[in-house]
Structure formats: C-alpha cells, structure tokens
Amino acid sequence: MAFINGPVPESFERRVTATPREFERDLRQAWPAVEGSAAAARFSLRDGTQELVIDIEAAGVRRLGLFELPQLDVRYRFAPGDEAMRRALLARLDRAMQKGGG
C-alpha cells in the first residue's frame, strides 16, 4: 500500500502475507542495518534523522481453497519528523520488499 494521494502518517498498520521469519528476512535484505528480530516481534531502523519502529503480530492464515497464506499485522511508527523523509524511507522499504505479482 503506497501513500500516493496524501501524506505518510507517523503511524499506520498494514496486513501482509508473510511469516515472521520471512518478514525479517525480507526486511534485512531491504535494510541491512535494521535492529530487532522476528522473535522479539519488533524492528527499528534509522535513515539519517528519521527513525522507524516496526512491530509485527501473527494474524492467522488466509485460505483460498486449499492454498494457505500466513498473515501478519505490521505496525509502522515513525518518530516525529519531516513527512518527505517518512515518504522516502517508506518508498525505499516498499520497493525492496515488493513481491512479484501485481
């Protein structure tokens, strides 16, 4: 979910399709200096003066026929700061963590 038609808020939530370990793997590929772990269900990262804390929580499984997709609720909390910096950091994460398909 991109914030195309408006500002990136200081905090928001997304539901993503991933296990905690998959989310951590993808996040570390996108941002190698990330701190935290899937086991702790919290990550933090910094881009210049902008800080971001990400909390994850298992949200069950989505079933499509016999196909099962693990779900996570992901909460993003930016430290107060410049909206343009939030947008740039989030765009970088979203691009790096994007899965194929559409």
The residues spanned by each domain of the chain are 11-97
Is residue 102's pLDDT more than 50? no
* Token code pair at residue 33: 């200096």
Q: What is the gyration radius of the CA atoms in the chain, in angstroms?
A: 14
User: Per-residue pLDDT tens for 34-90?
Assistant: 999 999 999 999 998 999 999 999 999 999 899 999 999 999 999 988 899 999 899
The SS3 assignment for 96 reads helix
Asked whether the beta carbons of 73 and 57 are under 8 A apart, the reply is yes
pLDDT at 96: 84
pLDDT at 81: 85
To the question of pTM greater than 0.85 for the whole model, the response is yes
Architecture per CATH, 11-97 = 2-Layer Sandwich (3.30)
**Non-local CB neighbours of 77 within 8 Å, separated by 6+ positions:** 10, 11, 52, 53, 54, 55
